[in-house]
Each structure stands twice: as C-alpha cells, then as structure tokens.
Amino acid sequence: MSPVSSAERVAEEQLIQRVGRLWAFSRDSGEWETLKACFHPDASIILSWYSGPAWEFVERSRLMAGTRRPEERHKHLLGNMRTAVRERRAVHETDVQISIREFIDEILFDYTCHARFYDLYEKRDGEWRIARKSCIYERDRLDPVVPGSVPKAFYDAVSISGHASGFAYMRFRLQKKGLTMPGSIVLGGSEGERELRAEGERWLAAG
C-alpha cells in the first residue's frame, strides 16, 4: 500500500474530528438519529452512567431527555483534540467539559466535569464512525444555582479525598438518582488509563 501523504492524513483527521463534534452537538440537541449515525452498528460505549451497546445508549439518552424539566440542561463543550490514524483505524482524544443543570432533591444545581473522550474509530465503506467510545474522568464539582440553598449536611456523603475524588460528585449525583456507575470507569493518571491507552495502541496496530 502506498504511503499516505500529509494532506491525506490531515483530511482523514478532520473527517474523524467532524464526527466527534457531531456527536456532542446531536447529543445535546436531542437529534437522536444523527447521534446514532455517529456509531457503527456494533459500537459500544462506556460513560459515567452507562456501559453497553451504543444503540441502547442513544435510546436511553432519548428517554432521559424526555423526563427533563424546563430548567434542566446538558452541554458537552469540546476542547483540544488529537487524532492518530493508521490505515482504516484511528484513536481520537478530546478534552471535554460536561456542564449539567439539574434538580437534586428539588434543589437546582450546576454540575461541571472535566474529562477526556478516548474514542476508537474505524473506516468502513468509506465512512469514519465510532467503534468504541470511552471517557477518562479528571475532576468535577457540584454547585447550587442559588447560593445558600443547600443544607449544611447535604454534602456529608461526598468524599473528595483519594484517587476516586475525580468523579466524587458524579457518583453522588447518580446515587441520588438511583443509578450506579459502571465498575470500569477510568480516572486520569490511573492504571485504568494506562490499560485504555495500551488497548488503543493495539487497536491501531491491528488496522
């Protein structure tokens, strides 16, 4: 196979990054068919509240969006990106800030999470789509929209010490909603991140 030129490589990277941006926009805007089209049919995803087939993630996201109150909002703000392409496979990383306004115990909160998407892409039939989407969590916080509206004991169950502090408020929010985080959640700088990156290298090598 002939070597790929710099221009061709940049063009492929831009196509992959376009899918990543489309994922975020369609997820936040409730464009579910567009969101589904960002994935290959057999794709998988693991995030803070879900681990499994991508198609089911889209359906559950749609159902959850239908239960939101008028004051509640979700936003994924994408930052720096880098993409490694080898033949028909790629690893695409993106800094992301997840911003959520939601009610917890009838108190309106702003939740903010800093993380990185670590996504495996594959080109099939000339189209780049996500084969597996993962997230590396770094740090988060939870603030009441109205200062002073939270009882002093509200945060007693939150532990912000140790390595797992990177998703302390995420876990707290999900527990309040009766949800459980998947056991394979990845934290920045952890052994889980090293294993995820090693898997990404194997993904590229197999391409």
Q: Two tokens at 66?
A: 């239908």
How much is the pTM? 0.92
User: Alpha carbon of 15 to those of 11, 83, 99, 126: distances in Å?
Assistant: 6, 10, 26, 11
Q: What region does 30 belong to: left with phi over 0, alpha with psi -120 to 50, or beta?
A: left
Regions of the chain where pLDDT drops below 70: 1-4
Instruction: Specify the DSSP element, H or E, that contains 7.
Output: helix 6-29
**Does residue 136 contact residue 60 with C-beta atoms inside 8 Å?**
no
Instruction: Specify the DSSP element, H or E, that contains 10.
Output: helix 6-29
Q: What is the pLDDT of residue 3?
A: 53
Q: What is the pLDDT of residue 2?
A: 46
Q: What is the pLDDT of residue 6?
A: 83
pLDDT in tens, 96-135: 999 999 999 999 999 999 999 999 999 999 999 999 999 9
Q: What is the pLDDT of residue 114?
A: 97
85 Cβ contact list (under 8 Å, min separation 6): 4, 9, 12, 13, 16
Q: What is the pLDDT of residue 159?
A: 84
Dist CA 5 CA 126 (whole Å): 18
Residue of 120, 88, 104, 102 whose CA lies nearest to 19: 120
